[in-house]
């Protein structure tokens, strides 16, 4: 898990993925024939081979913020989001402000309950009500922080019980699974591209650009999905189970998985006794939605790792589900030339 920890704790919000991109390039370069970074910041690694052109993609960007205003009198920072947040999860969290002169540790604050009015207590928390305190006098903040500085959530990557947890599991985990499957596969029965995409959290932008460049026959998006097996969620709404294995997606809001690929992955999982589940999502989307529209079109599918508390600093995944995802992707790479997309 050392690589997954490095990936999760690296920083890289949409459009500013540089730090995590450097970790990815270093990790994947020994296992491929070439590595390039395109104009949108995608990492495109190519393992030359025979057979169908296959693209495996996991997005490297994490949700975060940009500093939008610095309060002149107090030095408190106001922020605008890059990606979707539930403001409830942000109150009292630590953050890193990535200023030009060095990172500043801070926290997200709001008025304490003791001085909230009755109306404020009833009002849902809004991002506009929150601010960042970096623990410095206003004049020092103004000299160190600028509007446009990147802010990321601060959290350690931890293992406990049979899970690992931290920030940016969505979707550094997908990138990790892609790299580990590439390393584990005994042979590569395709012409393979492994892509760490940029700006997925703000509209699947990197996948669209990378897809048009690669023009894959088969596209596999690796991402997380909602492990909703928790109190208060009816059984019919539990999209996936934390300990149910890797999730083979039939559809989400952006893509419908190619039926032949669904059959191929289910057959592989059953043949190799890999724990899996089938999911359908009505909301959200993955890089498959961008990749399937590339060139003349690509047969696409999403494989996901069920994750609790998505888009928070305690995103949590089952260790065995991670291994199941790696095993299933590796198995596909070994047999990709046998998939009949017309069948």
Residue 122 has pLDDT above 90, yes or no: no
Residues labelled catalytic: 200
Question: Looking up tokens 């849902």, which residue turns up?
Answer: 124
Q: Residue written as tokens 């890999």?
A: 274
Average the pLDDT over 279-284 and give the result.
82
pLDDT of residue 290: 94
Q: What is the pLDDT of residue 119?
A: 86
Average pLDDT, the chain: 95
Fold assignment, 64-153: Elongation Factor Tu (Ef-tu); domain 3 (2.40.30)
Rounded CA-CA distance 223/110 in Å is 32
Which segments within 214-296 are labelled E, that is strand? 218-226, 246-251, 276-280
Instruction: Give the other-Cβ count within 10 Å of 26's Cβ.
Output: 12
Give the pLDDT mean for 42-57.
97
144-162 confidence digits (pLDDT tens): 999 999 999 999 999 999 9
Query: Which pTM value belongs to this model?
Result: 0.95
- Tell me: pLDDT of 139 over 70: yes
In order of 46, 148, 170, 334, the CA distances from 203 in angstroms are 25, 20, 15, 32
Kindly list the distances between the CA atom of residue 66 and the CA atoms of 47, 58, 83, 99, 289, in Å, as whole numbers in the listed order.
36, 23, 11, 11, 27
Structure tokens at 311: 């888009």
Q: Is the pLDDT of residue 339 over 80?
A: yes
Length of the chain: 343
Q: What is the per-residue pLDDT across 124-135, written as a single tens digit (0 to 9) for each?
A: 888 888 999 999
Question: What was the pLDDT predicted at 238?
Answer: 87
**329 pLDDT above the threshold of 80:** yes
Q: Is the pLDDT of residue 254 over 90?
A: no
Choose the weakest-confidence range: 103-117, 211-225, 253-267, 311-325.
103-117
Cis ω on the peptide bond leading into residue 80 (within 30° of 0)? no
- Segment 23-45 mean pLDDT: 98
DSSP strand pairing (53-59 vs 218-226): parallel
The percent of residues in the chain predicted with pLDDT above 70, rounded, is: 100
Task: Write the pLDDT tens digit of every residue in 186-215.
Answer: 999 999 999 999 999 999 999 999 999 999
- Residues whose CB falls within 8 Å of the CB of residue 297, separated by 6 or more in sequence, listed in order: none
CA distance 302 to 314: 23
Q: Which residues are CB-neighbours of 81 under 8 A, at least 6 positions away?
A: 63, 64, 65, 127
> Mean pLDDT over residues 91-105, rounded?
95
Q: pLDDT confidence of 343, banded at 50, 70, 90?
A: low
Lowest mean per-residue pLDDT among 109-113, 242-246, 265-269: 109-113
What does residue 225 show for φ and ψ, rounded to 5 degrees?
-135, 170
Q: β-strand 163-166 against 246-251: which pairing, if any?
A: unpaired
User: Strand pairing partners for 15?
Assistant: none
Could you count the other beta carbons within 10 Å of the beta carbon of residue 335?
A: 18
Cis peptide, bond prior to residue 171, ω within 30 of zero: yes
Return d(Cα 76, Cα 142) in angstroms, integer.
Answer: 10
For CATH 2.40.30.40, list the domain ranges present in the chain: 64-153
| Strand duo 276-280 + 299-308: pairing | unpaired
Query: Within the chain, which residue ranges are assigned CATH 3.40.630.10?
Result: 2-62+167-338
Q: Tell the CATH superfamily of the 2-62+167-338 domain.
A: Zn peptidases (3.40.630.10)
Cβ-based neighbours of 199, under 8 Å, separated by 6 or more: 14, 15, 40, 41, 59, 61, 205, 206
More confident residue, 108 or 118: 108
Question: Residue 104 has which token pair?
Answer: 């500043």
Torsion sign across C-alpha atoms 132, 133, 137, 140:
negative
Which residues have a Cβ under 8 Å from the Cβ of 231 and sit 6 or more positions away? none
The pLDDT score that the predictor gives to residue 177 is 98
Residue with tokens 């490095």: 6
């Amino acid at each position: 898990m050392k690589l997954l920890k490095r990936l999760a704790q690296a920083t890289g919000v949409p459009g500013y993925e540089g730090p995590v991109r450097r970790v990815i390039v270093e990790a994947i370069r020994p296992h491929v024939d070439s590595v390039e970074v395109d104009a949108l910041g995608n990492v495109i690694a190519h393992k030359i081979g025979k057979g169908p052109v296959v693209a495996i993609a996991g997005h490297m960007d994490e949700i975060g913020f940009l500093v939008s205003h610095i309060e002149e009198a107090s030095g408190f920072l106001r922020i605008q989001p890059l990606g979707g947040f539930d403001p409830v999860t942000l109150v009292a969290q630590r953050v890193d402000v990535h200023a030009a002169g060095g990172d500043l540790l801070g926290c997200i604050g709001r008025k304490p309950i003791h001085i909230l009015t009755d109306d404020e207590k009833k009002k849902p928390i809004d991002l506009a009500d929150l601010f960042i305190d970096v623990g410095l006098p206003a004049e020092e903040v103004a000299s160190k922080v600028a509007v446009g500085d990147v802010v990321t959530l601060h959290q350690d990557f931890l293992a406990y019980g049979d899970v690992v947890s931290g920030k940016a599991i969505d979707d550094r985990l997908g990138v990790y699974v892609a790299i580990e499957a590439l390393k584990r596969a005994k042979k590569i029965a395709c012409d393979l591209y492994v892509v760490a995409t940029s700006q997925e959290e703000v509209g699947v932008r990197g996948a669209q650009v990378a897809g048009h460049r690669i023009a894959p026959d088969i596209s596999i998006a690796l991402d997380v999905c909602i492990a909703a097996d928790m109190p208060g969620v009816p059984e019919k709404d539990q999209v996936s189970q934390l300990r149910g294995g890797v999730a083979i997606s039939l559809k989400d809001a952006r893509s419908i998985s190619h039926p032949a690929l669904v059959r191929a992955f289910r057959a592989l999982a059953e043949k190799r006794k890999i724990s899996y589940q089938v999911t359908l999502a009505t909301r959200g989307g993955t890089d498959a939605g961008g990749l399937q529209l590339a060139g003349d079109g690509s047969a696409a599918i999403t494989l996901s790792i069920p994750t609790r508390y998505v888009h928070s600093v305690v995103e949590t995944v089952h260790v065995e589900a991670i291994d199941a995802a790696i095993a299933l992707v590796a198995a596909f790479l070994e047999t990709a030339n046998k998939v009949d997309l017309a069948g």
